[in-house]
Structure formats: C-alpha cells, structure tokens
Chains A and B, each alone.
Chain A
C-alpha cells in the first residue's frame, strides 16, 4: 500500500466514522422526539390510572372526587339516550350566536376606532370605563331587561366577546408598521384602497387573537349564563348535578366543556389558516 492510498484510507476511514456518527445522531433525535410523544400520551394516562387506583383503595373519597370508571359508566347511558348531545347542542347554539353577536360589532367598531381618530376619541372613554366591569356583575341587569329566555344568555356571552374583539381589532389597526402606510401613500392609494389593501389585512392576525380570547370568555360565561333560569345546556348540567349531588354527571359536564373548548379552538385555528394563508406557521 502506497503512502497515498494509506492517506486515502485514513481519510475515508474518518469520513465513514463521521457519517456513522451523523446517522447515529439523527437516530437519537428521532428517538428523542418519539419519547416526547410517548410521554405526552403516557403522563395523562398515568394520572387516570393513579386516580382509579387511589379511589379503589379508598385513599381519595369517591363521593367527592369520583373515579375514571364511575365517570365513564355515567357517560355511556347519557351518550346513548341523547341527553348529552341535547345539552351540548343547546349550549353550542348559545355560544355560537353569542360569539357572532359580540364579534361582528366588535370588529366593525374596532376597525372604525382604529382608522378614524375622531371615532376613537369619542368612543374610547366609554369603552375604557365599561370594559373593567365584570360581565357577571351585569347579568342580573341583563336578566331584568331581556327576561329569562335565550336572549339574555346570548347577550351575556356577546358582551364578553365584544370587548375583547373590539380592543384587539383596534390595536391591530393601530399597530400596523408605519412603513406599510408609507408604501400605500407613495403608490397613491386612495383611502378606500388603503383600508382594503393595508388596514384590514394588516389587522387580521390581531383580530383572530381577539376571536380566540373571546371564545375562551364565551366558554366561561356559558356556565354563568346557564346558572340562572335555564332548563338545558352543559352549564345547567353542572348546576343540576350540584343540586342532585351527582358528582359523576358533573364530571361528564366538565369533560364535555373541555371537549367543546377544544373543538371551538381547533375550528378557529382552521378558519385562521384559510383566512390568513400568509401567516408563518412557525410563528
């Protein structure tokens, strides 16, 4: 073997070693990712198992904390009878209508407050003064005004959504980078062209952030809205279960709410991806 060959072998040997190292590294990365996925699934399952075991051993009081199996056995007949679906639909209708009733005027007024300083100057004091009032504190008044029907529940949710969407929309317009205003001006955009090509699309990400916050509040308010003078709904289920001391049913209602929250936020994410295709998915 000549010196040169030796040299090559030495070099190639090193290359191979390095390649193997790289392969091992990528394997290790994949392995770590898998491990994280498994952990994300395993830890809640483990908690459920622990909960079940502790309740069976009598360490925790099943009358207060129930157990996964008991909740499951309560859930199945409610699913079959359609009882759960009925209450879920009643609440969903209230949430959706309340959300729309709050979000649509929220966007409209938020946009005009962001775009027109006179509108902002005249409305801002009222918004600032009424925004901090807890929406629950207004509920009795809403009940007196709108009665015990659906309107009062939808209105309660609408009010909570309205403020969050309005404030986010206005901030979205006001926070558009000034350079984009300069570009529009330099190209001679009219006011209307400026609204449609810069102000509205520029504010969209913040508007959606407002929608998401609003949806969280809607789920919060549905329980309160169904506390008084309701005959159906997942919020009502919780209070009904409280009256009957039916802990399993209460847990079923809570799980349904978690599920509703998940569905609504996934739905908003989906709409956001369609409406804002230009948003970097990596943040």
Chain B
C-alpha cells in the first residue's frame, strides 16, 4: 500500500503485514484506544480468524485494512499480485445486500463498478449462483429471500469481484445454527478452490477452528493481540467430523482460556466503572 522504505521484512510469501497499527477514537468522554500496536503478518492464501470480546477493535482492524477507515498511527502493507484485481473485498456484518437490486445485480456489483459489460456480468452471476445452488433466485429481490440466502449473496458478492484479499466481518453472526453450519461448509468449499488470503472475524470459537489456519485472539481496551493460535487440522475439512476430533477439543480449551481471562477483565472493568 505505502512506499516500502522502513519495511523490515515483507517476504513474497506474505499478503498482509501490519506495523504498530493503532487507532484512537476521540469521543466526548475522552480518547478510546480501539487498536494498539497490532503487528501481524498474514501469509499468501492463509485463512486467519479473529476472535475477541466485543469492543476489542476487531471490526476497526478490518475496516482499516479495507480502506473504510484510516489508522491513527502505524502502517500496513498489502501485496497486490495482479493490479487488474481489486485488492480487498469486504463481507459486512448483517444485512448489507442492496434491497433495490436483484440477486444477480447484487452478486455482480463489484464487476459493475469495474465497468464490466452487462452480458459478462450476467454470465458471472449464473456461474456463481449455480455453484451456490441459488440459480433459480437469480432475478429475485432480497425481500423475497431468507436470512441464510441473503448472507450467501453477501459472501458471493465479495467472491465474484475476485479480490486478492477477503475481509469478512462476522458474516454468519445473525444466522441460526443449521444455516451457519451449511454456510461454513460452503465457504470452505469455495475458499479452498480460490486460494484467497482471508481474514474472518467471529464470536464463535467453533467457527474460528473450523475455518482458520490460525486464530488471532484479541484483548479489549485497548485492542491488542493477546495470542495467535495455530490450527493444525488438515484440509479439506469436514465440519461435522472436525468437531469430535481431539485436536479440536484441546484447541477449543486453549482459546477458551485465553478469552475467559479477557471476558473476566472486561466484567471487572464494568463493575469498577
């Protein structure tokens, strides 16, 4: 992103590198440090999950990488291997597909912005919706879709624009358990074929372990990296079998302990305030 001087080591295998990334929000009650000195490097094609108590700056971190906000200090680098492609696409939390566009128009919004002609957009929509089993809804409007379908479109919209890096902010947070499992499996399927570097915020340790190569655990107030946990579970993964494996159980415990400390600290802070 920025000029490369001062860059210590940004290897060709890395897609993202952040250096002391800090974000301070000025509010009436004083400054809130949303992010403090976040240093992480994400490998090309890696799936990194981010967990942490609410208010730990996860979303802020993603929004800075996605260009929706500016950091207060520090810097980050992102590698663009193909200047034709957009660098990042974001999957937003909750309902963010345009109600005034059909499914096809929503899914190909990124292509429209890039000036791809309508016929090619239509083809891309057909190809992708077929893959997701949503072809018969291609000309439907969002009000005609269920919550699960809307989130599929939300994810599809980011994939169709074919970015180098995918930034996903709790895309399945509002879904029920069954839909969640189905969408996780679908996401894994598309992602494994694409090899895209992906950052994925979640509240759920389960979800982080099912999807991620690594899990970044954050602390709140200020938002810092507490630990990074390697998820050594081979791919392709089967979400249902995964849950009952012993590695999964021990990783779950490890992350739970890390998070529990944070949750208790947050509670203590609330009580003293």
A-side residues, CB < 8 A to B, are 179-180, 182-190, 193, 197-198, 201-202, 204, 276-280
Contacts and interface: CB of A to CB of B under 8 A. Distances in A.
30 contacts: A179-B94, A179-B96, A180-B98, A182-B68, A183-B92, A183-B98, A183-B109, A184-B113, A185-B68, A186-B66, A186-B68, A186-B88, A187-B86, A187-B89, A187-B109, A187-B113, A187-B161, A188-B86, A189-B113, A190-B113, A197-B98, A197-B101, A197-B109, A198-B98, A201-B98, A278-B101, A278-B102, A278-B141, A278-B142, A278-B143
A282 to B, nearest CB: 8
B52 interface: no
- Return the 7 tightest CB-CB contacts between A and B, nearest first: A201-B100, A280-B143, A278-B141, A186-B90, A179-B96, A187-B110, A278-B100
A188 B113 contact: yes
Interface of B: 66-68, 86, 88-90, 92, 94-96, 98-102, 109-110, 112-114, 141-143, 161
A22 to B, nearest CB: 26
A201 B92 CA distance: 20
A180 B92 CA distance: 10
Contacts of A204: 100
> Chain B interface mostly helix, strand, loop or mixed?
loop
A193 to B, nearest CB: 6
B160 to A, nearest CB: 11
A258 B141 CA distance: 35
Contacts of B95: 179
B121 to A, nearest CB: 13
Contact of A277 (B86, B110, B114, B141): B141
Contacts of A277: 141
B113 A193 contact: yes
A182 B90 CA distance: 9
A197 B67 CA distance: 20
A95 to B, nearest CB: 29
Contacts of A184: 113
Contacts of A187: 86, 89, 109-110, 113, 161
A201 B102 CA distance: 13
Residue from B68, B92, B94, B99 with most neighbouring chain A CB atoms (10 Å): B99
A271 to B, nearest CB: 16
Given A204-B100, A278-B143, A186 B94 contact: no
A196 to B, nearest CB: 10
Contact of A186 (B67, B142, B143): B67
Nearest to A281: B143
Contact of A179 (B92, B112, B113, B114): B92
B59 to A, nearest CB: 11
Contacts of A202: 100
A255 to B, nearest CB: 38
A278 B145 CA distance: 12
Residue from A179, A188, A190 with most neighbouring chain B CB atoms (10 Å): A188
A234 B96 CA distance: 49
A279 B142 CA distance: 9
B85 to A, nearest CB: 12
